[in-house]
Structure formats: structure tokens, C-alpha cells
Amino acid sequence: MSAAIELWPPQASQHAKDIDLLIGSFGAMVWLFTLPVFVLITVFAIRYRRSHEVNREHAPPGNPWLELSWSAIPFLMILVFFVWSTALFLDLYRPPAEAMPIHVVAKQWMWKFQHPEGAREINDLHVPVGTPVKLVMTSEDAIHSLYVPALRIKQDVLPGRYTSLWFDAEQEGVYPLRCAEFCGTDHSAMTGRLIVMRADAYAAWLARNRDGGADGTLAAQGGALYRRLGCGGCHGAGASVRAPPLGGVFGRPVALADGGSVTADEQYLRDAILLPNRQVVAGYRPIMPTYANTLSEEQVNALVEYLKGVRDGR
């Protein structure tokens, strides 16, 4: 950590610059509206004080147009900020389809990261510069919140479900990453580093940090797990049990037994494994066992990554 007092965090992404422009402009507008009020209060208080001899005749009886305008103009300007910030907000919550998924598991008191290429790390997060990254996050215990000031992004991390966040860091460097939700004794020590590297340096880093070498990508680790747990015994082509084929399930609309429909996103796949009876696929019986007490969060993440890639139902 640098010794200098940091008055304003660095801007590591275009989003950070956009947010600063929004905050700066809003601040400027607040000054624009409040400063004249305070200046005029002071001027009038001095000028029209009781002991001062001034002409107090012809006080204006009221001016509806003036009064209307000082309500309407700030209102319209606030609306501009409403539209502007909503656009930024929607952009932040809609990751581009090609974004690189990195799984995050928070626990008291550390951050665990799983890269799609199979590398794993704790408290440090290495990412390539100029590449959209989508964080798919969950917690093993309390509520945490991932906060990277240099990217101006923050999102709560909850047990039992996924939340996500995306960014595109365009400035190489090392930036602090912290927990922004009080989560117990060592909350303040739940910090880490975001390390934004050139693409080739990231590739070299990945090659050095392949998880055990043999395990391969996160999806391949999930595939091994899928076979070890015998999921294919029901979902496979030759299975005697009737279960939906899983090829191409990710992103597909799924009709449910209760008449509803959902899109099979990461959250859906996670729930299908951990809470199989919550959303039952239409036309099938709810016979799938729950894996809630057998799998770690990291294993669920690996299975989800595997399911996202299956094209044929094995």
C-alpha cells in the first residue's frame, strides 16, 4: 500500500471515468443551485437588516412564473441525471456475452478466485487488460461485498446464490480490492489486489498457475466431477431414467412443471444442482437428488462451467 494519502482512487476503466464525470457533474449542479441561495441570503440579511436605512417600498407581490421556473428547471436537470445514471447502471448490470467468467467465492475472511483456464488464487486477482471480465460470485458464510475502488464497482456477495459484476480494465496496474460489508472480526483484513496485466503476461501467468497441470480448465474439472458423481447415469443418452438431456442447456428457455418459464443462466444451473425440486423441468418427475451437502462452492462452480459448455447430452 502506498504511503501517500489517496484523495481520489485511480481510474482503471472507462466505467470509472464515466462514473467520475457523473459524480463531478452532479456535484457541480448542486453547487450551481445552492451557492446563489446562500449568497443571496447573506446579501439580503446584511442589506435589509433592521438598523439599515433602505427603501422597503414596492416589495414585489409575487411572481408565479419566477416561482414555477425555479422548480421546473432543477426538476428537468435532475431528470437528465436520472436518465444518464440509469444508462450507466444498466450498462454495469448487463455484461457483454463474450466476457470472461471468473468465479469468486468469498468466505470469512478471504477471496477465492477460479479462472476459466483452471488457475486458482486467493486474495489476488490477475486479469488481462482490455478484456471484459464477468465475476460470478457467491459466499460460503456471511454476506460480503466485493469492492474495487479503481473500477468504481461494488456488489454484495450472498450465500446460497450468485451475484455478478463485470468490468473492462484498460489501465495496467495493481489496485486494492476489499470487502465492503461488515462480515465479522477480520472484516477489515479481507483485502486483496486486482492485478491488471498485458494479455501475454496474463497468458504466461496462467501457464505457470495451471491447477495441478492435469486438471485442466475449470469446465474440464467440472466434467470430471460430472462423471465421478454419475450425473450421466440419469442425464446420459442411454440412461434408463427419464431426465432432460443437458446439451446446450445454457441460455435456453426452460419450461417448468408449474407452468412458468426461465432462462437457464448460471443461477438456474446452480439451483438445478443444489435445489433440484425448486424449479422442476416440465414433463419430468422430481427425482433428481440434491447435491447441497456433498459439493463445495468451488465444485458447484466447476459443474456450472462444464454445463455451460456441453453441446451433446453425454
User: Cell 439580503 identifies what position?
Assistant: 44
Q: Distance (Å, rounded) from C-alpha 204 to C-alpha 119?
A: 12
Q: Could you say which of 276, 298, 299, 309 contacts ligand HEC (CB under 6 A)?
A: 276
Contact flag: residue 178 with Cu ion (CB under 5 A): no
User: Cell 450421466 identifies what position?
Assistant: 232
What letter would DSSP give residue 178? E
Among residues 103, 37, 113, 127, the alpha carbon closest in space to that of 267 is found at: 103
Contact flag: residue 288 with ligand HEC (CB under 6 A): yes
How distant, in Å, are the alpha carbons of 54, 79, 82, 237 from that of 85?
47, 10, 5, 49
Angle in degrees, CA 22, 27, 29, rounded to 5: 95
Partner whose binding site includes residue 190, from Cu ion, ligand HEC, none (CB under 5 to 8 Å by kind): Cu ion
Contact flag: residue 179 with Cu ion (CB under 5 A): yes
User: Is residue 263 within a helix (H) or strand (E), and if so which, with residue range?
Assistant: strand 261-263
Contact flag: residue 167 with ligand HEC (CB under 6 A): no
Stretch that binds Cu ion, among 17-25, 27-35, 178-186, 191-199 (CB under 5 A): 178-186
Partner whose binding site includes residue 241, from ligand HEC, Cu ion, none (CB under 5 to 8 Å by kind): ligand HEC
Q: Smallest distance from the beta carbon of 264 to ligand HEC, in angstroms?
A: 6
How distant, in Å, are the alpha carbons of 148, 201, 214, 244 from that of 125?
11, 14, 22, 36
Task: Give the interface size with ligand HEC as a residue count (CB under 6 A).
Answer: 29
Q: Distance (Å, rounded) from C-alpha 115 to C-alpha 221?
A: 12
Contact flag: residue 195 with ligand HEC (CB under 6 A): no
Contact flag: residue 249 with Cu ion (CB under 5 A): no
Q: Smallest distance from the beta carbon of 242 to ligand HEC, in angstroms?
A: 6
Q: Smallest distance from the beta carbon of 297 to ligand HEC, in angstroms?
A: 14
- Asked if 305 contacts 269 with a C-beta cutoff of 8 angstroms, the reply is no
Contact flag: residue 190 with Cu ion (CB under 5 A): yes
E-only strand ranges, 123-250: 124-128, 133-139, 144-148, 153-157, 163-167, 173-179, 191-197
* Sign of the CA dihedral with 60 first, then 63, 66, and 71 last: positive
Contact flag: residue 183 with Cu ion (CB under 5 A): yes
Q: Could you say which of 146, 303, 308, 310 contacts ligand HEC (CB under 6 A)?
A: 303
Contact flag: residue 77 with ligand HEC (CB under 6 A): no
Q: Residue 24 or 230: which CB sits closer to ligand HEC?
A: 230
Contact flag: residue 269 with ligand HEC (CB under 6 A): yes
Q: Which residues lie near ligand HEC (CB under 6 A)?
A: 226, 229-231, 233-235, 241, 243-244, 246, 249, 254, 264, 269, 272-273, 276, 280-281, 284-289, 291, 303, 307
Q: Which residues lie near Cu ion (CB under 5 A)?
A: 144, 179, 183, 190
